[in-house]
Structure 1
């Protein structure tokens, strides 16, 4: 897989990034990781050595530990919500009432409610995806099905707006889309999603196992405990945005991120803020092979610089209805920022999507052939 990705990346990187042949390349956009920057590795916190957790893709921090989920798995005891202590040892697990398809991210609300994004779709064939909601003290999560308005999408990032609205960020190469429920979620019903924007990933040179492919796909996200910042990650970098007026969508679609390099994580698909909001926490999937090292929870400093709040709340901040779903103050579906996109992402999008589908299929097939025992 990695060899194939590298070959595709090399071909894409050979393309000119100027407006036409012979023109100089455009200046790096704000938030880009400067060329030549030496990225610092994260500080180890603890090691996840439980054999049930080889493919952690969602992470949240609590006052006394962490909450994690694996992504799709054919092994029953891996399909759980895992609560870890501060040493990354499994303290307890919660079962799903029915089998999830592909749990890719989770986020924790201020009241302790856990939301799990069953939103992975490598082959883009799912008619619905799902959000699982685990209330504090509940024995099992509640299932909410949702559907995209414009066809299937693969996604690995789930966020919560200030009013509790779930926000799905897709894994579309280069220009991820943001979707929210169009009305209050109800059990036993499929709720249509509504697209509320998209944004362009800044260019990066951060080293990672998947080369350019790893810099063009959003694999996780989190909102700071005080709601003042939101972070999205790729396989290479963390992109942190300032949030004003509780509007997470506007922060991402209109803001300029600060980039925190996450160099050479084996397959980084999870990110969270520490409970005090001062650091970022990441956890990678375990590498292929029985001899691969156990995943290590890493800590990175944020690049946060406080900014003053505006004097008035923007009129486009969505109001909420029961259930926390934004329905008023709609944003335009597209803007000049969205249409412009990222050049590299636009050129490489189809190739990267094909590589993603083929690569992950091969990787998971190998794991199934191994018998799913580690």
Structure 2
């Protein structure tokens, strides 16, 4: 069994004023950084209610519609966004679930079932279990209430933070990737989740990234995993994942989401923040994510696969963005820790 990676303790209060000042400097520099030109097909979220978009999933039932959610909200809400306008065309209120804690991921599985991962650890809380929700995607896009099924999930090797949940488009099996600075693991649960008992997830393969989200290609043959500074494309290989290449992940303020388009030709990357932009990049291999070449999708331009370093091609503005993300994350973690 893969070893459990320890959580790192962060420095306390004396760093706070220094980091706050540094955040202002680097974010000011980042605002002047040029935006990448290869984002054709992206869109901007116009709904002022969507301030912490933490997951993204392309609808197969409604072409051009993407489902998203906040990581913390005033209710159990999902938002259907029209990519041609960036506007919300339907809001779903889930019933049959508890009060969401930290909703970090969304995925659409077979039979147009929407799966939602309430798997994060906002406020630094260590949960003894987390939740996954499942509901049918509505055939009509309108504001409505839908009853969801709630599943209780525990990890075989103890509680952990996670922001990535994916559902295989062929088998319907649900997977989770935990979030660790030094890289996490792909966790596999039962072939069919039980709504009446606890579903135990086991680590089955290492993931060489500080993962914030993941997505299957439409044919289920590729797994794209993103972090704050880079991403990795894996050959699914029946769950025995094999690294193919780095992904060309855009520099974003707090990159939290990823999904394939329904035809598999592009990968879309989202970020938190009001009025945030979803950026589209060509998917390696194109089409349904079949054969990926080592140079496809500009993978050599991505940040380091381990989620830490910057490539030699980064501009000063890009480095400022990356530094800003680090500072914001550290400040967020410091605020969450009890005094």
Q: TM-score, normalised by structure 1?
A: 0.63
Say what the alpha-carbon RMSD is for the aligned residues. Answer: 3.4
The residue aligned with 2:271 is 284
Residues 1:356 and 1:2: Cα distance change in structure 2 (over 3 Å): farther
Show the 5 A alignment for 1:343-358. Answer: none
Structure with bigger gyration radius: 1
Secondary structure, aligned partner of 2:107: strand
Give 1:225's aligned residue. Answer: 218
Q: What SS does structure 1 have at the residue aligned with 2:137?
A: coil
What SS class does the counterpart of residue 257 from structure 1 fall into? strand
Cα displacement string for residues 82-128 of structure 1 (whole angstroms, at most 9, x for unaligned residues) = 11223221111111223111110111114211111110014251011
Matches within 5 A, 1:25-174: 42-43=39-40, 45-62=42-59, 63-73=63-73, 75-76=74-75, 79-86=76-83, 87-97=85-95, 98-122=98-122, 123-137=124-138, 139-161=146-168, 162-174=170-182
Q: Give the Cα separation in 2 of the matches to 1:156 and 1:91.
A: 26
Partner SS for 2:253: coil
Describe the shift of the 1:41–1:196 C-alpha distance in structure 2 as closer, same or farther (beyond 3 A): same
Q: CA separation in 2, counterparts of 1:344 and 1:90?
A: 34
Assess if the C-alpha contact under 8 Å between 2:173 and 2:191 holds in 1: no
Are residues 6 and 243 of structure 1, via their aligned partners in 2, closer, same or farther at CA, if it must alter by over 3 Å? farther
Change in CA separation of 1:196 and 1:60 when aligned onto 2, cut-off 3 Å: same
Decide whether the 8 Å contact of 1:181 with 1:194 is kept in 2: yes
SS at match of 1:127: coil
What's the CA shift for 1:344? Answer: 7.6
Gapped runs of 5+ residues in structure 2?
A: 1-15, 23-34, 139-144, 293-305, 310-325
1:240-273 per-residue CA deviation (whole Å, 9 max, x = no partner) reads 12334xx1x312xxx1232223232111100000
What displacement does 1:179 show? 1.4
Greater Cα offset, 50-59 or 293-302? 293-302
Aligned length in residues: 266
Does the 8 Å CA contact 2:231/2:307 hold for their aligned counterparts? no
| TM score, norm. by length of structure 2 | 0.69
Residues of 2 paired with 1:70 and 1:2: CA distance?
Answer: 28
**Map of 1:249-264 to 2, 5 A cutoff?**
249-251=239-241, 255-264=242-251
Q: Provide structure 1 residue ranges, at least 5 long, that are not aligned to the other structure.
A: 8-37, 202-216, 287-292, 309-341, 346-352, 366-374
2:253 is aligned, of 236, 241, 266, to 266
* Secondary structure, aligned partner of 1:111: helix
Distance across 1 between alignment mates of 2:329 and 2:277 = 24
